[in-house]
Amino acid sequence: MGLLTGCAPTGGSVESREIGDFYNVVFFLALVVFVGVNGALLYFVTKYRRRPTDVGMPPQIHGSTIAEVTWTVLPALLVFGLFGMSWSSMRSVDRKDEPPNVTVNVQGYQWNWEFDYGNNFKVKAKKDADGKPLVPLMKVPVGERIRFVLTSDNVIHSFFLPEMLFKRDVVPGRLNQFDITIDSAGLYKGQCAEFCGTDHALMNFQLQALNRADFEAWVKDEKANSCAGEPAGTLELASPPGQIAYDKDCLVAPAGQPVKLTYTNGGGQPHNVLVVKSEKERGTLFGKSGDPIPSGTETGEIAAQPAGQYFFFCQVHPVMNGTYKVQ
């Protein structure tokens, strides 16, 4: 038991210290109950062992109203006190009364994470040479209120930040969110905590809290780097049969010249592809709105555009999207 206090959780966020303090109070009460009951047990076991000198039966005590009322009321008081503390700690941990500085949309899928910061910027799991997904890293500014909005399109996951002593389930069909203020900079581990199938154990991620300037620099870098490659005048995009996905999330085209785009739907699911100015503006550069193709190939031309970042997506499945980069 003593070991447990040694490991008493303390976290890297304002909320987690709240939880950690409450844990310590409960731990203290638990220790009192544990020592009290086990102490009495040991004492009785040594004191009242049956001796050869015992004659007849011990006093046949059937009960005592006073004693029984006492040990109903005392734990009851303890429970009410505990509930009061639980309630107040819950309210401050779960509070959402301040607008957040940064909102991260967390998308859980089998079996990885995607962190969408809005404005056409998201962090996805990169893949290693063998095509195995790597642990995705998200960064957030330290000391600011972050809101995590959790969505899943398929099964239930749980977004767990052990060092923040916090998790919340990622439930399909439900928009869970929580706010957190991480106040010590550092690299933290995260993991999926709700069983979600074969590779549940591999749904790790990392979270780095860093100061505002570094955070902004990182966003800028990521945006620029996330879509890179040799510009080409003919581009190809495809959806594997039966999947709700494109095979690429980045298309790079040369500036100031028209580009030919060929899209192939492997079938099984209706898709289309629209290339637009940006996620918000949606001025269509390519594709017919509202006309998904069940399978087959569609070819078209994208008019010459100035250098910059554009956006493409599937109207049927908005989770299918990517960056069209002109350079």
Partner 1 sequence: MTTHAENVGSVSVKQPVEAKKRSAVLDYLTTTDHKKIGVMYLWFSFGMFLVGGLFALIVRTQLANPDGGFVDRDTYNQMFTMHGSIMLFLFIIPIWNGWGNYIVPLQIGALDMAFPRINALSFWMLPVGAVTILSGYFTKDGFAANGWTEYQPIASSHAQAQSPGSGTDLWIIGVLIITIASSLGAINFLVTIFKMRAPGMTMFRMPVFTWNIAVTSILALLAAPVLMSALSMAFIDRNYGGSFFDPNFGGDAILWQNLFWFYSHPAVYIMILPAFGLISEVLPVFSRKPLFGYKAFVFATMAIGALGFSVWAHHMFTTGAVLLGFFAFMTSLIAIPTGVKFFNWLATLWRGQLSFPPPMVFALGFLSMFLIGGINGMFTAQPPIDYALHDTYWVVAHIHYVLFGGSVFAVYSAFYFWFPKVTGRFLNERLGYIHFALTFLGFNLTFFPMHLLGLAGMPRRIAEYAQNPQWQGANVTATVGAFLIAISTLPFIYNVLRSMRYGAPAGSDPWEGNSLEWWTTSPPPVYNFASLPPIRSERPVLDMRLEAEARARLEAESAANAAPDPGSAPV
Q: Which is nearer to ligand HEA, 196 or 253 (CB)?
A: 196
Residue 83 interface partner, choices ligand HEA, partner 1, ligand CUA, none, CB cut-off 5-8 Å depending on type = partner 1
The whole-angstrom separation of Cα 309 and Cα 217 is 18
228: helix, strand or coil: coil
Examine residue 28 and tell whether it contacts partner 1 (CB under 8 A).
Answer: no
For 190, counting Cβ atoms within 10 Å of its Cβ (0-12 exposed, 13-18 middle, 19+ buried), the class is: buried
Minimum distance of ligand CUA from residue 66's CB (angstroms): 52
Q: Which is nearer to ligand CUA, 203 or 207 (CB)?
A: 203
Cβ neighbours, 10 Å, residue 163:
19
Q: Which is nearer to ligand CUA, 93 or 192 (CB)?
A: 192
Among 192, 227, 261, 285, binds ligand CUA (CB under 6 A): 192
Examine residue 196 and tell whether it contacts ligand CUA (CB under 6 A).
Answer: yes
Q: Which residues have CB under 8 Å from 251's CB, separation 6+?
A: 227, 235, 237, 261, 312, 322, 323, 324, 325
Of residues 155, 230, 140, the one with CA closest to residue 195 = 155
Q: Which is nearer to partner 1, 202 or 224 (CB)?
A: 202
Residue 19 interface partner, choices partner 1, ligand CUA, ligand HEA, none, CB cut-off 5-8 Å depending on type = partner 1
Q: Which is nearer to ligand HEA, 68 or 301 (CB)?
A: 68
**In the stretch 41-80, what mask flags binding to ligand HEA with x, by CB under 6 A?**
----------------------------------x--xx-
In order of 186, 229, 239, 299, the CA distances from 208 in angstroms are: 6, 27, 33, 42
The encoded tokens of residue 205 equal 């991620």
Strands 112-116 and 176-181: unpaired
Helix H or strand E encompassing 187: strand 186-192
Examine residue 33 and tell whether it contacts ligand HEA (CB under 6 A).
Answer: yes
Site for ligand CUA in 197-216 (CB under 6 A): 200, 203
Minimum distance of ligand HEA from residue 77's CB (angstroms): 9
Phi, psi (rounded to 5 degrees) for 179? -110, 145
298: helix, strand or coil: strand
Q: Name residue 115's amino acid.
A: F
Q: Which is nearer to ligand HEA, 65 or 72 (CB)?
A: 72
Question: Which range, of 134-142, 195-203, 230-238, 289-297, touches ligand CUA by CB under 6 A?
Answer: 195-203
Minimum distance of ligand CUA from residue 195's CB (angstroms): 6
- Site size with ligand CUA, rule: CB under 6 A: 9
Among 200, 223, 248, 288, binds partner 1 (CB under 8 A): 200
- The sheet with strand 284-286 has its strands ordered as 250-253, 321-326, 308-313, 274-276, 284-286
The whole-angstrom separation of Cα 15 and Cα 142 is 14
Site for ligand CUA in 148-167 (CB under 6 A): 157
Among 37, 67, 69, 304, binds ligand HEA (CB under 6 A): 37
Of residues 275, 277, 286, the one with CA closest to residue 313 = 275
**In the stretch 89-128, what mask flags binding to ligand CUA with x, by CB under 6 A?**
-------------------x--x-----------------
The answer to whether 109 and 245 are in contact (CB under 8 A) is no
The whole-angstrom separation of Cα 192 and Cα 168 is 10
Q: Which is nearer to ligand HEA, 37 or 224 (CB)?
A: 37
Examine residue 316 and tell whether it contacts partner 1 (CB under 8 A).
Answer: no
Give the Cα-Cα-Cα angle 292, 298, 301 (nearest 5 degrees). 115
Q: Which residues bind ligand HEA (CB under 6 A)?
A: 33, 37, 75, 78-79
